[in-house]
Structure 1
Amino acid sequence: MTVQASNLESEQIPDPTAVETAGGGAVAGKSPGRLALERFRKDRLSMVSAVVVAIYILLAIVAPLLVHFKVLDPQTFHQDLLNADTLPEGSFGGISASHPLGVEPGTGRDVLSRIVYGITFSLAVAIAATMVTMIVGTVMGIISGFAGGWTDSVIGRFIDLTLSFPQTLMLLALSDQGVSLLADVLPGESTDPLPNGAYIVLVLGLFGWPSIARVIRGQVLTIREREFVEAAKLFGAPRRRIYFKEILPNLWAPLLVNFTLIMPLYISAEAALAFLGVSIPPPTPTLGNILTGSLNYAQADFLFFSAPAVLIMIIVVCFNLLGDGIRDALDPKSAQ
């Protein structure tokens, strides 16, 4: 039997994702990820926050390069720009074309260069601490939720025990011993910021994971009853494969949301710890120690005090708004 070419050309293969409408037309289906992205794009506040966060991360990445090529100069003293009281000459903290945010009282260092360069260290500490929190919390949550029984009980009691320790007091009490131990283990000179930064990361991460573990455990209790997990168990898949190949890929949504919500907590925590004397010490700039150093000049040079404070506030607010926007986009019922 022969088939006419015109008939073949007129035939169209139906789109399996298309949905027939009442008018006879077809509407292409959309994946959950695409629907979430469209919902996120409609939220203008979240989009603005995403742009601000992206600029903040970009500055943190390029700042060391700008310092290397002398575009930024955060360490050079400009004593000639200070008066007899070691305050910047001129109005608004010595603002000029070469120093858009003025100079630092007492040293004459460029404020803009120190703030931009300080973003790198503050973000590095926050990201590293968040990663430690997420990794430990995710692993413990998956094991607790999937294993159940006595394993779940032991991990649950360990979570309660960890939450019972006051994080800030433990960090202050163990700071000298912890930093000294890390300074002996880690390479570098005694003046390097690495031991202090590593200590802050470890304490924030190892005391912050229980909340993530509880969230992940609740998600795993639902996922472990799904058909693909049961099929993997029937085929004799080892638990490690079930944990990281079957369950973990289905946890990306809560992990992403919690990551964007924990980041601002650790950014502000670094600033608070700098005020308590536990953060990365000067001359290495961070947003925390710049703000702490500006407290003595809050009245004499308000711009020097307000610039890092406003920047920390903007970053924390934008990260929180971004996290809320991602959560509402992934789970539209939460916005109701």
Structure 2
Amino acid sequence: MKYILYIGNKLEKHGASPTGVDTLPAHLMQEGYQVKAVSSFQNKFLRLADMLINIIRHSRSTELILIDTYSTSNFWYAVLCGYTSKFLNLPFIFILHGGNLEERFLNSDERILDLFRSARKNIVPSEFLKNRLHKFKFNNLVSIPNAIDLHLYPYKERKNVKPRILWVRAFDEVYRPELAIQVLEVLIRDNLDAELCMVGPEKNTDLQSLKILVREKDLPVRFCGKLSKTEWVDLSEEYDIFLNTTSIDNTPVSVIEAMALGMPVVSTNVGGIPYLIEDKTTGLLVERDEPEVMAAAIKLLVEQPELSHLISENSRAKAESFAWDKVKVLWRELLV
């Protein structure tokens, strides 16, 4: 198999965080596959139309359709592209993202579930999502983890850490950016010389309100907006601890990247996170919406350099399992 059409929300050039459709095609092309990736239209209706038109236009030359699938409203793009591919007798694979897909499927019509059952495969990035979706009788689930280019993430040993905190996600309510600011407030209240840097594009959160809050309380928060991978990796040299405050998650690439850099991660214990992070071994896990507990975890890293060092080393080792050189073997097996 050589000719692949990849359907997804290719919106990085418009300021969105890169997703699989922005990164995976280049990897597959390095392995000798010909990949066309769509769509980059910002307008949702034009984007959907572009996806469907490309499936029809390339129906004779394409050997496989890859379809990114999310639990948000973009779920319906995947459904319509799946139906179109099935009508044209084109083999298709859904690539399932998002920690809330279980709820989406629970609220889906049986005909939609049958569409996913009829796909050649449903790819999940973690055993967490695979386990959660078995109830829907998807007998075509296969685990392929999110991949990173490991060489882009130079390891820096963290031992005697300071409460210099880095947060990297889109400013979306599900990622709880305000919780990071609350954690910082607790640390400062407890007389720690803490600072916070927040990196990511604005999505479904009123970023301006957060900035006003920070100014009013005179908090040491740096808002960097969306940065390229290279820019935020360079920025990470200035920080010691990575904070993940999300309320819903699967296997976030930003957390894997932080682990590759050797940053001890303090994260909410939600979704697929405990499948990625083992508490006190490859990171620290706390319950969601608990700023006091999350701040206590950061203080633990500051006060126990041996623990910080252990987590830093183990995190890098864990991240190495997500290197493209290892993950590509699974893609080759799938695409034979």
TM-score scaled by length of structure 1? 0.25
**Higher RCO (C-alpha 8 Å, min separation 6):** 1
Largest Rg, 1 or 2? 1
Please identify which structure carries the higher helix content.
Answer: 1
Please identify which structure carries the higher strand content.
Answer: 2
TM-score scaled by length of structure 2? 0.25
